Amino acid sequence: MKIKIDGLECEANYGEYILEVAKRNGIHIPTLCHTDALPGQGSCRLCIVEVIEGGKNKVVVSCLYPVTNEIEVLTNSDKIRRMRKNIIRLLAARAPESEHIRKLKEEYKVPEEKRFNVDKGEKCILCGLCVRACEAVGVYAISSVNRGITKKISPPFEEPPEDCIGCGACAQVCPTGAIALKEFEGKRVIWDKTFELVKCSVCGNYFTTREQYEFLKQKYGLEAEEFLCDKCRKKSTAQKLVF
Amino acid sequence: MVEDNMPDKKTVLICCGTGCLANNSYEIYRELKKRVEAAGEDISVKPVLKTTGCNGLCEKGPVITILPEDIFYCKVKISDVDEIFEKTLLKGEIIERLLYLDIKTGKKVKSHKESEFFKRQKKIALRNIGQIDPANIEDYIQRGGYRALKKALFEMSPDEIINEVEKSGLRGRGGAGFPTGYKWKQAKKINSFPKYVICNGDEGDPGAFMDRSVMEGDPHSIIEGMIIGAYAVGAQKGFVYIRDEYALAVKNVSRAIKDAYGRGFLGENILGSGFNLDIEIVRGGGAFVCGESTALMASIEGRVGEPRVKYIRSTEKGLWGQPTVLNNVETWANVPVIVDRGAKWFSSIGTEKSKGTKVFSLVGKVNNTGLIEVPMGVTLREIIFDIGGGIPGGKKFKAVQTGGPSGGCIPESLLDLPVDFDSLDKAGSMMGSGGMIVMDESNCMVEVARYYLKFLSEESCGKCTPCREGIRRMLEILEDICAGKGREEDIKLLLELAETVREASLCGLGKTAPNPVLTTIKYFKDEYLAHIKEKRCPAGVCKELTSYRINQELCKRCGVCAKKCPAGAIFSKPKSPYVIDNNKCIVCGACREACRFNAIEVMGRREG
């Protein structure tokens, strides 16, 4: 079916989200809580757009609004820009330390905050992607805790999480760099828990934590005796296939 | 079914709703029972004693009704039991002292039906409450209960039931007013099983107790409604989600479910119809947001109670991704009556677009605090001044807040507004689930907005940015204004933030959260300006912006204010009026409350 985004006619499949259609057609809609691997959070609200349907305008999030009619979409109307600017202002007051949010703030010309009491030292915008990533890995080591203004992301009891395997998926997926992952001397520290890194037996590079390696071995029933990093495993598999 | 069936036998109905219970009504029941049992064969007609659900007139509790004479006693104490037994039960004499005093007419009335409070009400959802013992399924059946279920199962097809509900014009009583019949129709259409029905009993608005009263006082009406709904849409599993703080509701609904199984109204092959339905209770943890349908479903599934976007409706993908019909307690309780008496009858009550009645919990600065049910379309003035009996203490009405914490404050100029879904929406407020909080001149409207935003900031689930951060920053500004640190540009910023929170939030909580701010700015802007520009709280509530002064001409030198002052800040020299030492005054307002001559004046921020 055909929809119009900012005047441009685009082909869309029934049920496809506006964001996907826009992306495919080179129309940029800013997002924070969306990654292609874990879509459909709808929590940051940065990707709001106006949908005109049956003569009525409504504000929806493009990452979750399915196309079911021949709608017209405005990704950058005055109203959307005004509200998006407000959302960035709110996020900047919450997470002033995040480089990414700072860039958005500049892009949307949000002035220096003079009215709100800006949170000190915060980077997290509570989008929840890290929790979903952890769930997707199958570990469930972190979760959102509390609600409303006291909400935060935390391991149980704010202690180093027992279940964490140190895979770092949470840090990887975080849009604002709020989850600290440090590596030094063959160790990785995340969520205040220290993991031993293992070396690839071929190239000798540190590539994962022992816990993650064991977790994956068990999950996928791997028989691997030696530690192989992604690159070397691919090489070795390819060689086996060739010969 | 709706009209009272007066029993021939002498019956004493003792209200054991939460309000009356708190005032010892159960002890009154026990004492009276003791007296009746002790009298044994000596009384010719042995009365039946019943504990009932909330009668509605909570302000005057504990209340007792004696049938068939229909004598209505208020504020009964344990010490009154002997007299009630001796005089009224044995001799049929009326005890004047315990009768209800009608505020409007100034007369004592014998039967509650003669009082302004009850006369103007029409009870559909509350039809049995106060009349039956909620723990006794026979009581419910005697008043026509489960008759509609039989009619639905054996005389109607699912489509006919849905048509009937659709034609009745019933709209969801939980707040949004979504047409119930249409919702059912959507769920029925989807060819995916299992399907679910849910009763939303997660009432969390401050000052609201409509749903609690129905669950406590007439649980079978909800269960019967759910069975009919489940049959109509093809669901075989139902959940009643009740917040765990509602202990009596959990107890009474559990008992009712068990009894319904016992009588073959639930379980396999209901009444031999071939239809199966199981219902179980899920106890909620008390998060306000879990009253939002998708958050509630997440909570039933065992996940964090956070809403999801509803571009795909729950009737298509709800609980565990399956078609789900979720209705509020009051909505379900209306269903049996609609099936029993027909859509035509139901739709003859109410307004063009809002049919039937609505239950409200009328609280705040109003004489008859309590639970009421009125036809849609009555005016706020009728509710507050006729049924509610007006404002206590001769104070002036200021506003009424409808629809729970995210409803709006409606001013005096709109008191003649008919109460229905659309009119309230238009006024910037909403029907919500039916909370109605009356405020008088001693309420500061900026402080009221601050109070509700504080509640919402804590009860937002925190998932989406506009709601979590937006409400929080709006609250920050309101706190500043109340503390005398408001800035001229604050009103503009509040309005701008309100737009983003309302338009861009994920669920209904965020979308309606700005209402208290928007309506108070719209209708009481002068109060905001007084706080911001003049550094004065006209109502004398915000401490930082209030000081008191004794009007020297009005002061009669009685000295009550000085006696009541906990800070010892009021003194006088012989033969001269009293004065307040502002350095000692803690702005508690005790003097103002105590002064009978209105001599204590509210002034702006104290100097220096």
Q: What is the DSSP string of B303-372?
A: S-------SS-TTTS-GGGS-EEEEEHHHHHHHHHHHHH-HHHHHTSB-SSSBSEEEEEEEES-SS-EEE
Find out whether B240 and B282 touch, Cβ atoms under 8 Å.
Answer: yes
Each residue of B26-55: pLDDT tens digit?
999 999 999 888 887 667 778 889 999 998
Chain-centroid distance of CA B137 in Å reads: 25
Which is the CATH superfamily of the domain at B137-348?
Answer: NADH-ubiquinone oxidoreductase 51kDa subunit (3.40.50.11540)
Other residues' Cβ atoms within 10 Å of the Cβ of residue B484? 18
pLDDT of residue B111: 86
Find out whether A19 and A47 touch, Cβ atoms under 8 Å.
Answer: yes
Question: Which residues on adjacent β-strands are paired with residue B65?
Answer: B13, B72
Left if phi > 0, otherwise alpha if psi is -120 to 50, otherwise beta: which for B28? alpha
Q: Which of A90, A116, A151 sits opposite B462 (nearest CB)?
A: A151
Asked if the Cβ–Cβ distance from A86 to B458 is below 8 Å, we say no
> Which residues have a Cβ under 8 Å from the Cβ of A22 and sit 6 or more positions away?
A5, A10, A28, A29, A62, A73, A75
Q: Which of A59, A116, A151 sits opposite B476 (nearest CB)?
A: A116
Query: What chain A residue is nearest to B460 in terms of C-alpha separation?
Result: A148
* Residue located via tokens 């039809």: B127
Report residue B8's pLDDT band, with 50, 70 and 90 as the boundaries: low
pLDDT of residue B319: 97
pLDDT of residue B3: 43
Distance (Å) of CA A161 to CA A140, A157, A190, A191: 10, 9, 10, 7
Whole-prediction pTM value?
A: 0.92
* Pick among B503, B505, B506, B507 to test the A interface (most A CBs inside 10 A): B503
Number of H helices, E strands in chain A: 7, 11
Distance CA(B251)–CA(B169), nearest Å, equals 32
Asked if the Cβ–Cβ distance from A148 to B505 is below 8 Å, we say no
In the numeric block, which tokens belong to residue B257?
Answer: 């479910």
The C-alpha of A71 sits at a distance from chain B's nearest C-alpha, in angstroms, of: 14
Fold of the domain spanning B445-534: de novo design (two linked rop proteins) (1.20.1440)
> What are the residue boundaries of the structural domains of chain B, listed by start?
11-115, 137-348, 357-440, 445-534, 543-604
Report residue B7's pLDDT band, with 50, 70 and 90 as the boundaries: low
Peptide bond into B194 cis (omega under 30): yes
> What are the residue boundaries of the structural domains of chain A, listed by start?
1-125, 129-241
Find out whether B221 and B214 touch, Cβ atoms under 8 Å.
Answer: yes
The C-alpha of B497 sits at a distance from chain A's nearest C-alpha, in angstroms, of: 7
Q: Which of A48, A143, A148 sits opposite B468 (nearest CB)?
A: A148
Share of chain A above pLDDT 90, in %: 81
Each residue of B377-436: pLDDT tens digit?
999 999 999 999 999 988 999 999 998 888 899 999 999 999 999 998 888 888 888 889
Report residue B1's pLDDT band, with 50, 70 and 90 as the boundaries: very low
The second-level CATH assignment, the architecture, of B11-115 is: 3-Layer(aba) Sandwich (3.40)
The domain A1-125 is placed in CATH, from the list 3.40.309.10, 2.30.30.240, 3.10.20.740, 3.40.630.10, at: 3.10.20.740
The C-alpha of B246 sits at a distance from chain A's nearest C-alpha, in angstroms, of: 21
Q: Which of B311, B460, B504 sits opposite A66 (nearest CB)?
A: B311
DSSP B467-489: IIIIHHHHHHHHHHHHTT---TT
Question: Which residues on adjacent β-strands are paired with residue A196?
Answer: A187
Distance CA(A235)–CA(A230), nearest Å, equals 9
Each residue of B300-353: pLDDT tens digit?
999 889 999 989 999 999 999 999 999 999 999 999 999 999 999 999 999 999
* Residue located via tokens 């709001």: A48
Instruction: Report the half-sphere exposure of B157 (CA within 13 A, side-chain side).
Output: 5
Asked if the Cβ–Cβ distance from A86 to B289 is below 8 Å, we say no
Distance (Å) of CA B435 to CA B22, B431, B449, B508: 21, 8, 16, 16
Distance CA(A218)–CA(B57), nearest Å, equals 65
Distance CA(B549)–CA(B602), nearest Å, equals 7
The domain B357-440 is placed in CATH, from the list 1.10.10.60, 3.10.20.600, 3.40.50.1110, 2.160.10.10, at: 3.10.20.600
Other residues' Cβ atoms within 10 Å of the Cβ of residue B423? 21
Chain-centroid distance of CA B185 in Å reads: 29
Report residue B71's pLDDT band, with 50, 70 and 90 as the boundaries: very high
pLDDT of residue B2: 40
Q: Which CATH number applies to B543-604?
A: 3.30.70.20
